[in-house]
Structure 1
């Protein structure tokens, strides 16, 4: 099993930064000697910065400084109401500002779930800042000139529930947050019942029956519940309510996207058993990259936790192979 940091590990520090008027909480982990470069890891839903607990020790051992923010609406980061705070463009601007504040002239990006979608967008909006990126489970989709609702895809039907009022209204208080997180992280009822699926979303009647997930320790789950209780579910769910705003931000970019290719090296790690992001939806993405490395791990959506050694092996090989081009002037 891969090494990992615990919620209160002495190897990590919890910091805050004001990024374009919003207070972000982030994890900082430093290598033993002068850092080669800065890695920024971006989590998805429903997760936190601690979702990268198995990757932080790996990256510091490789000589990288690691920054892992709680994204907008999560944990110790502010949770403003307007949806404009939850767009790809806003996330890109905030991560770029974090890099500026810590004095990083270039960064390596890692993303999972929504974080995977975000790191591609940061590279689109700030290509000179990003020296390499890796995405776990999330393939790339290009800006479009015409709006397409993601929920038309069968594997994204659950998003209809998440963007609506029901989950936000029902998942209130620490007890229900714990039930909800256990369900999303693969916990089951006594007869194998699931509390969440990609077709309907959450089954509120089943949630109280769900047992503990195997993917988090009791200490980790307690930490997650406390951090989610700070703001509740509105902020995390707002990421599902921004499709039109993201489309509007990228309409002009889409007009000039033909022939575009990402110039920085990119690693995409698919999860064979990921129900929401099956590997098949990545078909055709290769055309957008000058240097794309594809890997696949036999795991569900929670690849970072289920198969950390395999995920870390692919990240290690990718960054080691590109080491000469990833050195920064820190």
Structure 2
């Protein structure tokens, strides 16, 4: 199935920026291409080490269905500010930023449909908890919902106990080595190529969920099949818009575990516990090594209305299986909108 996508600097969308809670956020804005009135605003949130461009297959699909679409570069990325302090990257503060930007576009009483992938998925679930009145629907690709534990357990201790070993790479990301070694255009390009699935002639990989970044392999990898040369260069150009170390902002998302736990004590203490009543969709990716579908077991109890689907793809489902992802989102949107027939 041929699926339309945005290209770098695509003229079909607008590139705008605004001040949000004292920070500059850049975002892509796509208008409906159906000629009629907008069916609503879909707000899409990317993860690591992606950009707003990571949703390039979903933006044309959604505008063709009559939606207005906004895709920000998240804090630390692209044209958005990149504070040095990890404290600025808590899910609570980022949720407040999403809400503030959305309110600029839909007003004080408007609502959005919010979708996320990877860290963006983790963020949209928190927006649903902190700002439920903002949302008409919420969906996540790859990232399941996980409720805060009343007691804090450091990720290092959880992994040492034999649990969440698929998150071992996060210990590497939160430490200093990746930030220090991946600086400058060539290294950034090698890193992005490896993260998006580049392999060597003998099967070498530059990233392993059990180890993190394998620096000695980075220059042995062929170009990833998930990005054209133009697209990869676009990613590099956007990363180089920030001074060295270029990965500090994006990696700061991995340095907030305790800060997020402290913030979410308030949520955990709410009467009746944590519950997302907003209609929700979770799309798992069968081949996701970092976020395997099994991680979503038991999450249904935290939702009033949760739909599920699974696509045959790696972690990069948005670009590896765009037709399937779009079909799943479209069917759910039809249900959310009252049963209109999906068209692909």
Which TM-score band (shorter chain)?
over 0.9
Q: Secondary structure at the match of 2:241?
A: helix
Matches within 5 A, 1:182-261: 182-231=193-242, 232-256=246-270, 258-261=272-275
Distance in 1 (CA, whole Å) between partners of 2:123 and 2:314 is 20
Matches within 5 A, 1:30-69: 30-32=31-33, 33-69=36-72
Distance in 2 (CA, whole Å) between partners of 1:259 and 1:92 is 19
Per-residue CA distance 1:33-81 (angstroms, 9 max, x = gap): 3211111100000100000000001111111111100000001100111
Partner in structure 1 of residue 4 of structure 2? 3
CA RMSD of aligned residues (A): 1.4
Distance in 1 (CA, whole Å) between partners of 2:241 and 2:272 is 43
Q: Secondary structure at the match of 1:134?
A: strand
Distance in 2 (CA, whole Å) between partners of 1:284 and 1:261 is 13
**Alpha-carbon shift at residue 2 of structure 1 (Å):** 1.3
TM-score by length of 2: 0.92
**Alpha-carbon shift at residue 143 of structure 1 (Å):** 2.4
Q: 2:322 aligns with which of 308, 319, 322?
A: 308
Pair 1:130-2:131 in alignment: no
Partner in structure 2 of residue 23 of structure 1? 24
- Whether the 8 Å CA contact 1:144–1:250 is kept in 2: the answer is no
Distance in 1 (CA, whole Å) between partners of 2:63 and 2:76 is 27
**Alpha-carbon shift at residue 325 of structure 1 (Å):** 9.6
TM-score by length of 1: 0.96
Q: Structure 1's 211 and 217: CA in aligned 2 closer, same or farther, altered over 3 A? A: same
Q: Structure 1's 128 and 325: CA in aligned 2 closer, same or farther, altered over 3 A? A: farther
Q: 2:105 aligns with which of 102, 106, 127?
A: 102
Q: 2:89 aligns with which of 83, 86, 89?
A: 86
Q: Secondary structure at the match of 1:294?
A: strand
Distance in 1 (CA, whole Å) between partners of 2:298 and 2:239 is 36
- Whether the 8 Å CA contact 2:129–2:275 is kept in 1: the answer is no
Distance in 2 (CA, whole Å) between partners of 1:138 and 1:112 is 6
Provide structure 2 residue ranges, at least 5 long, that are not aligned to the other structure: none
Pair 1:75-2:70 in alignment: no
Distance in 2 (CA, whole Å) between partners of 1:99 and 1:272 is 32
Distance in 2 (CA, whole Å) between partners of 1:264 and 1:100 is 18
Partner in structure 2 of residue 324 of structure 1? 338
Aligned length, in residue pairs: 326
**Alpha-carbon shift at residue 17 of structure 1 (Å):** 0.8
